[in-house]
Amino acid sequence: MQLLYPSNPLRRRRPDEQYREEAEAVEAAGFSLSLFSLEDFQDGLFQAIPEFEPGNVILYRGWMLNSEGYVKLGAAISQLGANLKVPINQYLAHHHLPNWYPVITDL
């Protein structure tokens, strides 16, 4: 498994400052990670640095994406021969309030 983080907008070979400590801990624990420019992605371009190995499972650790954005991310990752760890239905079930709020209304 490989983790994917958004890059720093000014230093694209470094994680976004909000994720820097986590990314450093991930690498220190022996996991591999890649970065991508969220700004480029929002403009329709996706490039992972370093690139994914074919067949790799990718865990996205970044800013919340709407359903369309997450589908596009999954498609971009798939085009590189890898797959998202969390499928779109699970992402939406756990990250979008209208989908999970009914589960906790009695709390």
For 23-65, write each residue's pLDDT tens digit.
999 999 999 999 999 999 999 999 999 999 889 999 999 999 9
Dihedral of CA 54/55/57/60: which sign? positive
d(CA 53, CA 70): 20
Model pTM score: 0.89
- Which are the contacts of 86, defined by CB distance < 8 A and separation ≥ 6? 59, 60
Phi, psi of 52 (to 5 degrees): -75, 150
How deeply is 25 buried, as exposed, middle or buried, from its count of CB atoms within 10 A (0-12, 13-18, 19+)? exposed
16: DSSP letter: -
Q: Compute the average pLDDT of residues 69-90.
A: 95
Q: What is the pLDDT of residues 42-53, one digit of tens each?
A: 999 999 999 998
Nearest to 51 by CA among 14, 80, 84, 9: 80
Confidence (pLDDT) at 98: 79
Confidence of residue 19 (pLDDT cuts 50, 70, 90): very high
